[in-house]
Amino acid sequence: MQGWRFNVLKPFYESLRVYPTPVNLNFAWCFGFLSGLFLVVQLVTGILLTMHYVADVGLAFDSIRTIMREVPFGWLLRFFHLNGASLFFSAVYLHMGKNIFYGSYLFPRYYIWLSGLVLYLLLVATAFFGYVLPWGQMSYWGATVISGLISTIPVFGQFILTIIWGGENITTITLRRFYTLHFLFPFIILLFMFIHLIFLHEVGSNNPNGFVYQDNIILHTFFSIKDLLVIYNFFLFFIFFVFFMPTVLGNPVNAIIADINFTPKKMVPEWYFLPMYTILRSINSRGGGVLLLAGFFILLFFLPFLTNPLVRSGDLKFYFSFFFCSLETIFVILGWAGSKSLDDFWVFTSRLFTFLFFFSFLFILPLIELLNEKIVFCRVVRPVEMQQL
């Protein structure tokens, strides 16, 4: 039996052990492995928490208190799971930023990028379902507002919403459905992660210089040690939040049991949803906000097809470095605006930076790539042609 198991796992082990990796990779290439590690953390802690959670609107909030106060090390499990979600999203956003900066989303790796975006969508959905489970004020009203956006779909919207809710309102049936999906989706994420790795192994890793042909080295142990160093530093940061500031990343309103008769004055989702929340509410129309949010994800999916630059790496493109820094700033300000109330200043800020986000990808990025290609042609291609003449 043990020999059979070893034969099944041997191809995976050999694939990782002898996987050829570009020799000039930097620490930014560790974020993908870090994301996978936090997925494992969330799976393990989530499964242990399900043993004590009760998916019932009358008992869910009390079951969380029981986990925190009476279950041995239950508080540790919940804080690991709660803060692990934030660190998971942090690693994913860093990984996505690295791919954009170094051109890892472009041909021949756009299938890796597209499969990664499917993982991101599944992660967003899983986090949303999990946010509802504590059944606090933000859990209930967040579920009501966000899932209620489905009703903006023409003709079938209200019918689909009724099926999801299991009725005309959010009840125990709805909570149990969200609980089931929150338990199921991580395993779907795990499946797509393997598909993501298959695409990666098919074409190989990109490198900071963006060259197609590059000197390679075996992944283990040269780069696995770098991965362990990044994991060690991230876990120090993670442990600091778990033991010293376990609730700082959460919304204190969610520590109050859900009350359908009292709407919170300020509804703010978790920090990793804030940029999308800003885009959603930047237009007064619910339907318009949903279309903009859908446009955000569609834009990311079509990003590999917007440009096909000769030079891929942002390290080698002067104008692109400024573009990437401005894009990071826009994304951070979108998140900041999402945490503020809708007064005149923040409404204007939300609309302005939502416009700048889409304008940057649709117009500025192609223009930057065109300017960089002209620079490369004038400095590299033309002198070589003159020498040949």
Segment holding 218, helix H or strand E: strand 216-218
226 is catalytic: yes
270 is catalytic: yes
CA torsion through residues 360, 364, 368, 370, sign: positive
369 is catalytic: no
The tokens for 64 are 């969380």
Residue whose C-alpha is closest to residue 146's, from 156, 136, 131, 159: 131
**3-state SS, residue 21:** strand
The tokens for 48 are 């242990």
**3-state SS, residue 238:** helix
70 is catalytic: no
| Catalytic annotation, pick one of 227, 313, 350, 360 | 227
d(CA 347, CA 342): 6
Q: Could you tell me what percentage of the chain is helix, strand and coil, using 3-state DSSP and rounding each to the nearest 5?
A: 75, 0, 25
| Catalytic annotation, pick one of 81, 270, 313, 360 | 270
Segment holding 153, helix H or strand E: none
| Catalytic annotation, pick one of 35, 205, 313, 360 | 205
Residue whose C-alpha is closest to residue 90's, from 267, 270, 228: 270
344 is catalytic: no
Q: Where do runs of H (alpha helix) occur along 204-311?
A: 219-244, 274-281, 286-302
| Catalytic annotation, pick one of 201, 224, 328, 339 | 201
- Specify the length of the chain in residues: 389
Catalytically annotated residues = 201, 205, 226-227, 270
